[in-house]
Amino acid sequence: MPTYGYRCSSCGHEFEIHQRVSDQPLAVCPKCQGKLTKILYPVGIAFKGSGFYTTDYRGSGTASSGNGSGPAPESKPDGKSEPKSEPKPESKPASGD
């Protein structure tokens, strides 16, 4: 049976109760006989098993979505830069004209 949360709008009393899905929601506070409202709780989901892409997860950010909505990641130099060779001047053979 699922657990439902209720809050009294008069006295602010909050409580949880196990009810069947087919049961009618409670309407009267057990403490002050005021009006009850049902509390909605957020539900977390986790994609487990095969058949999901790495872009389905919001976590580590290792997968790139490629939609261009955010700034492009900048590459940081790690101190191991390779020496750049200078371009060699072209030597043209002397023409006999």
- Give the global pTM: 0.45
User: Which residues are within 8 A (CB) of 4 and not within 5 positions of it... i.e. 6 or more apart?
Assistant: 16, 17, 18, 19, 25, 38, 39
Check residue 9 and give its pLDDT.
92
Quick one: DSSP state of residue 70?
Answer: S
Domain ranges of the chain: 3-39
Quick one: DSSP state of residue 55?
Answer: G
Mean pLDDT of 73-93: 61
Q: What is the pLDDT of residues 4-57, one digit of tens each?
A: 999 999 999 999 999 998 999 999 999 999 999 999 888 888 777 777 677 766
